[in-house]
Amino acid sequence: MVVVLLLATAVATANQAMVLERAVPLKGVPLGDLRELDRARQARMGVVNVPVQGNANPFADGIYYTSLKLGNPPKEYTFQIDTGSDISWVVCKGCRGCPTRSPLKIPIELYNLNSSSTSSRISCSDNSCTTADESGSKVCYTSDSTSSLCGYNLTYGDGTGVSGYYVSDTMHLDTIMGNQHFANASASVVFGCTESLSGFISTDGILAFGQQQLSIISQLNSLGVSPKKFSHCLKGSEEGGGIFLLGEIVEPRLVFTPLAGGDGNRYGGNSFFNPYHYKIVAGVSLSGNDTVWCIGWQSTKEIQNGHAITVLGGGMGE
């Protein structure tokens, strides 16, 4: 909704009020026109450039990862990019079971909440904690202080488990708007401070791009930093990697593979949403017969860059 803020003047002893008025009247405006207005609004947002590294060897780590800076003063951390989860997190100082070295030959950096002037803990009464509860990723417990922190316990498909509490801090981004490049763009985002890890991870944390409100792409969209769209430009080499772009790229020379959106249905009787909202619909020609297949993982429900292997649907190799 587009609104104009008009500050009402008042005497010093009276309360000041802000009157909200619509810049665009909604009555009688066709739906198509409203969509065009929203597209124009999103076009004014920047495109976030995230350089990606990776290893194409499925018998090694087989992941995509990137480096981003958090906090003030900024400190660089390496994150695994995961489009199949919603909660981003980083290993924190004092973490139990967290790695001290990485097979990727990158240094492991532990996030220290107290070293950043812009960091803050998320309490159970915070709206962000309510949002975490909607995706089944909220645990409230009492810390050493008198406040109740908003925590999380997460388990991934390979059995790796992490637990900790949510924090808010500044994320520093490279934002591109038109032909201009702004290297110092930043946004205050909510992510997890992991205190305990069981299993294995070869980076400092996870950068999540699922469809729930706490995913990084959803937070940046709600803050007006970038549209809720992203592209992964794959690097055609054994090193993997490429560029991960948050936002909409209009480039006629680029070839896109469309992703069919998921239905966002809940898992059975569970209280959390299915985060896997992408599947590739591909046309494949076998022996001269053209067939449309959904390429994904297991029962063609998802495709995500957190997996090293793409599994084709049954019968495709027959």
pLDDT tops 90 at residue 105: no
- What's the chain's average pLDDT? 69
- Specify the pLDDT at position 53: 64
- Specify the pLDDT at position 71: 97
- Residue 76 pLDDT grade (very low, low, confident, very high; cuts 50, 70, 90): very high
**CA 19 to chain centroid:** 34
Instruction: Select the CATH number that applies to the domain covering 47-246 from these four: 2.40.70.10, 3.40.50.920, 2.60.40.10, 2.40.420.20.
Output: 2.40.70.10
In our burial notation (b when 16+ CB lie closer than 10 A, e otherwise), range 98-126 reads beeebebeeebbbbeeeebeebebbbbeb
Q: What is the DSSP letter of 122?
A: P
The stretches of 138-290 forming alpha helices (DSSP H) are 216-222
Q: Give the tens place of pLDDT for each residue, 139-159.
A: 886 554 446 899 999 998 888
- Specify the pLDDT at position 288: 54
Structural contact between residues 160 and 198, judged by C-beta atoms closer than 8 angstroms: yes
pTM comes to: 0.68
pLDDT tops 70 at residue 277: no
Can you tell me the distance from the alpha carbon of 208 to that of 293, in angstroms, rounded to the nearest whole number? 27
Domain boundaries, the chain: 3-43, 47-246, 257-318
Say which residue, 116 or 107, is predicted with more confidence: 116
Can you tell me the distance from the alpha carbon of 154 to that of 9, in angstroms, rounded to the nearest whole number? 50
pLDDT tops 90 at residue 197: yes
- Specify the pLDDT at position 152: 94
- 3-class SS at 291? strand
Least confidently predicted of 183-187, 238-242, 302-306: 302-306
pLDDT tops 80 at residue 264: no
Residue 19 — φ and ψ, nearest 5°? -90, 130
- Specify the pLDDT at position 207: 92
- Using the structure block, give the residue that is written with the tokens 């591109």: 176
Which span out of 16-30, 75-89, 233-247, 290-304 was modeled with the highest average pLDDT?
75-89
Mean pLDDT of 162-190: 77
- Residue 227 pLDDT grade (very low, low, confident, very high; cuts 50, 70, 90): confident
What percent of the chain has pLDDT above 90? 24
